[in-house]
Amino acid sequence: MIWQETDNQNIWHPFGPIQGREPLIIERGEGAYLITPDGREILDGVSSWWVNLHGHANPIIAKAIADQAQKLEQVIFAGFTHKPAIHLSENLLSVLPSNQSKLFFSDDGSTSVEVALKLAIQYWHNRGEERSKIIAIEGAYHGDTFGAMSVADRNLFSEPFDSRLFEVHFIPFPEGDGANTIEEFEKLCDENTAAFIFEPLVQGAAGMRIYNKSILNQLLKIADDYKVVTIVDEVMTGFYRTGKFFATDYLDYQPELVSMSKGLTGGFLPMGITSASERLVREFDNNELNKTFWHGHSYTANPLACAAANASFEILTSKACQSQIKMISDAHVDFVERMNSNDQLNQINSIGTILSMSLKTEDSGYTSSIRDRMYDYFLDRNILLRPLGNVLYILPPYVISQNDLIRVYEEIAKFLGRENK
């Protein structure tokens, strides 16, 4: 096909070798489905990299963008502002932890993390206290820019850059009662600790690893004792992915900084936002040039993206969407119960609309050979699942029907049955 050849010649796709698989052309989307030019309908079981909340080509969001495009498509955000951004700030601050006071706009998940890291570091600088230590959790993924890579797992992805990443202290991923993690954190935390960054309750790219909220609460208590700036990366977990608006809502402590992206615009347009607490903003709330946060992006607070985010917010808080989220969460719980003792699985777990299971294989990790086998098996059956190595997960758009969800479960059960032979 000529389109495919041109793609092959001209385009460099992410997260795979250039000589990797031929990408499928998608012509349009409808609800939970992606549709190819020849009419093949593929169920999007991963919300197209965890962004698409309300289904593809959602008419309400599409209309909000179209309406906004005819009024104002973009305006410089330094010295100017606009109603979609102001409205979005009201929407988000109404659901963010009550200590949050200002939003800083950027472009995607990585930049929302960069902003959070820079704000945390400059917070101490503005106070005249040079705290240097930054703590993160082993296995973390926070994006692909240099700051985000620095606070993430050092692995195949980061290897060419490892020597240029800044120093970060990693605590073990919380397992069991988390005693080891807590002990390490206690040893590391002191008056020189600037920031602690974490993915709340689920490490996404590490393999949808779900961990216990009481361990996180204990870590946050220690961080609180030392006044460490806590950065919660809600890029993947935000917008009801874990069953609550933010995963942070499960916790007893309020973070200083919250990074958001992915589901923020319902999956229509790229945008990142970092929300900052009153305590943090206080150190910047002046007109001193050497205490100003000198950071910004050309498309900061793009009005189209803000209009999409406001429309997505309205849908999210609707009764219909809330009952879908509950339907998915309950169905996941039932499936976990059903598969709990499956001998092909190391473990299976769910939190809210996220279901993940790790398969017993000889080679685990991101490059596990079972990964391609699983990807092909499901795609052959018109289901898009994108395993993280030997970890298979579902993270569906909230519009998925119960029947489609059951179809995915049944295919997973069949796949495991086949592997067992």
Ligand X SMILES: Cc1ncc(COP(=O)(O)O)c(C=O)c1O
Question: Total residues contacting ligand X (rule CB under 6 A)?
Answer: 14
142 lies in the site for ligand X, by CB under 6 A: yes
Span from 104-112, 178-186, 242-250, 274-282 in contact with ligand X (CB under 6 A): 104-112
Quick one: 113 or 195, whose CB is closer to ligand X? 113
Quick one: 70 or 298, whose CB is closer to ligand X? 298
Span from 59-67, 107-115, 166-174, 286-294 in contact with ligand X (CB under 6 A): 107-115
Quick one: 377 or 396, whose CB is closer to ligand X? 396
User: Site mask, ligand X, residues 112-131, x = CB under 6 A?
Assistant: -x------------------
Quick one: 142 or 371, whose CB is closer to ligand X? 142
Classify residue 121 as left (phi > 0), alpha (psi -120 to 50) or beta: alpha
Span from 54-62, 140-148, 302-310, 322-330 in contact with ligand X (CB under 6 A): 140-148
109 lies in the site for ligand X, by CB under 6 A: yes
Give dist(CA 379, CA 360) in Å, integer. 21
255 lies in the site for ligand X, by CB under 6 A: no
- The closest of 310, 313, 291, 294 to 302, measured between CA atoms, is 310
261 lies in the site for ligand X, by CB under 6 A: yes
Quick one: 56 or 142, whose CB is closer to ligand X? 142
Quick one: 84 or 200, whose CB is closer to ligand X? 200
400 lies in the site for ligand X, by CB under 6 A: no
| Nearest-approach distance from CB 136 to ligand X, in angstroms | 12
Q: Determine which residue in the list 110, 265, 274, 302 makes contact with ligand X, applying CB under 6 A.
A: 110
| Nearest-approach distance from CB 190 to ligand X, in angstroms | 26
Quick one: 205 or 308, whose CB is closer to ligand X? 205
150 lies in the site for ligand X, by CB under 6 A: no
Quick one: 259 or 390, whose CB is closer to ligand X? 259
Greatest alpha-carbon pair distance for the chain in Å reads 69
User: Site mask, ligand X, residues 312-331, x = CB under 6 A?
Assistant: --------------------
263 lies in the site for ligand X, by CB under 6 A: no
Q: Which of residues 167-226 bind ligand X (CB under 6 A)?
A: 199, 204-205
Q: Enter the tokens of residue 78.
A: 């330094």
Q: Which residues pair with 388 in a beta bridge?
A: 391
Closest residue to ligand X: CB criterion: 109
393 lies in the site for ligand X, by CB under 6 A: no
302 lies in the site for ligand X, by CB under 6 A: no
CA dihedral 69, 72, 73, 75 (to 10 degrees): -170
- List interacting residues with ligand X (CB under 6 A): 108-110, 113, 141-143, 199, 204-205, 233, 235-236, 261
